[in-house]
Amino acid sequence: MTNIPTIDFTGKVAFVTGAGSGIGRATAVAFAKAGASVTAVDISEKGLAGTVELLEGFGTKILPIICDVTSGDSVKAALDETLKSFGRLDAAFNNAGIEQPAQPLVELSEELFDGVIAVNLKSVFLCMKYQLEIMLRQGSGAIVNTASGAGVLAIRGQSSYCASKFGVVAVSKVAALENADKGIRVNAICPGIIDTPMIARYTGDTEAGRANIIAQEPIGRMGRPEEIAGTVLWLCSDAGGFVTGHAMVVDGGQTAGI
Ligand code: NAD
């Protein structure tokens, strides 16, 4: 047997959005630990500074960039910087996102709907648009976009969030089909309930709030950001080389059934 795949990103370049917190931070760290040079993108300067501190421990190259992923110009500039610094782009994790406060559709404002769609969905379109230009020139690359369990299952009180995440699954599949024969794979990841600052905000960070949300998880606990990072690295590596156009749930059984 030859070419048994390993998850080693030595000499490779990874681009991670939402890298200043939670799932994005854990994934930026995992890429660095696996040997990649990492562009870490976030809108929060403070969050990004915390991630850079963690990344510095791995001795790989780090490029932190403050960027609002809802702006095409800013996203393009971040990718131009990446090419200038590292010369290529092998793996992209388009993950920045925001939550929607639980609210029935009839009460949801137009502004809130537009805001969630811009950060969670339009950003994924913009990131892929400019990443694919680079990857098409290279003839290689792998992209993972963060959807959610809310991207495969409707949740009451989450119309804008579900719309954004179903949309992420849709654009990921379209991009996968358009580029499958060009050496580029595109997948979506659908995390269940993961213990991050986003979930702390959503539950009010109280014991009762946490217990309430853990009750939705057949596995009986929240997931850890590192458990999403591990799957993202697998999807971006040669070990996941035959996987494209997939929306992979990593959710403790949350969407398996009732
Ligand atoms: P988080 O709030 O801990 O981290 C999100 C990061 O995105 C933050 O650092 C934030 O500053 C950044 N961000 C927000 N808006 C941005 C913008 N316009 N430009 C650039 N960066 C921006 O949240 P998390 O739980 O790590 O979530 C990461 C992703 O995972 C999101 O897309 C979220 O919807 C998704 N998700 C989370 C869970 C969960 O249970 N935590 C479950 C399913 C999906």
Three-state SS string over 222-255 comes to: CECHHHHHHHHHHHHCHHHCCCCCCEEEECCCCC
Using alpha carbons, select from 8, 2, 31, 4 the residue that is nearest to residue 237: 8
Return the ∠ at Cα 33 (arms to 30 and 37), rounded to 5°.
90
Cα 75 to Cα 71: distance, rounded to the nearest angstrom: 6
Predicted TM-score (pTM) of the model is: 0.98
| Residue of 66, 76, 94, 98 to test ligand 1 pocket, by largest number of atoms within 8 Å of CB | 98
User: What's residue 36's pLDDT?
Assistant: 98
pLDDT of residue 258: 84
Q: Given the CA of residue 199, which atom of ligand 1 is nearest to it?
A: 41
Q: What is the CA radius of gyration of the chain?
A: 17
17 C-alpha to ligand 1 centroid (Å): 9
Query: Which residues' Cβ are closer than 6 Å to ligand 1?
Result: 17-18, 20-24, 42-44, 47, 67-70, 95-98, 119-120, 146, 148, 191, 193-194, 196-199
> Which residue reads 């950003």 in tokens?
123
Residue 253 to residue 222: CA distance in whole angstroms: 11
For the chain, give the number of residues: 258
> Which segments of 23-66 are extended strands (E)?
37-42, 62-66
Question: Which amino acid residue places its CA nearest to atom 10 of ligand 1?
Answer: 18
User: pLDDT value at position 1?
Assistant: 64
Q: How far is CA 66 from the centre of its chain?
A: 17
Residue 222 to residues 83, 87, 195, 219, 227, Cα–Cα distance (Å): 37, 38, 6, 8, 10
Strands (DSSP E) contained in the chain are 13-17, 37-42, 62-66, 91-94, 141-146, 184-191, 247-250
The answer to whether residues 19 and 41 touch, using CB atoms and an 8 Å cutoff, is: yes
Question: Ligand 1 centroid to 98 CA: how many Å?
Answer: 5
Going by alpha carbons, the residue nearest to atom 44 of ligand 1 is 148
Q: Which of 9, 15, 93, 161 is catalytic?
A: 161
* pLDDT computed for residue 6 by the predictor: 85
How far apart are the C-alpha atoms of 198 and 76, rounded to whole Å?
26
Is 130 among the residues known to form the active site? no
Q: Which atom of ligand 1 lies closest to the CA of 161?
A: 34
Q: Which of 45, 83, 88 is nearest to 64 (CA)?
A: 45
Closest protein CA for atom 2 of ligand 1: 198
Which tokens hold the place of 147?
């959807």
Q: Per-residue pLDDT tens, the chain, 258 aa: give them.
A: 667 888 999 999 999 999 999 999 999 999 999 999 999 999 999 999 999 999 998 999 999 999 999 999 999 999 999 999 999 999 999 999 999 999 999 999 999 999 999 999 999 999 999 999 999 999 999 999 999 999 999 999 999 999 999 999 999 999 999 999 999 999 999 999 999 999 999 999 999 999 999 999 999 999 999 999 999 999 999 999 999 999 999 999 999 998
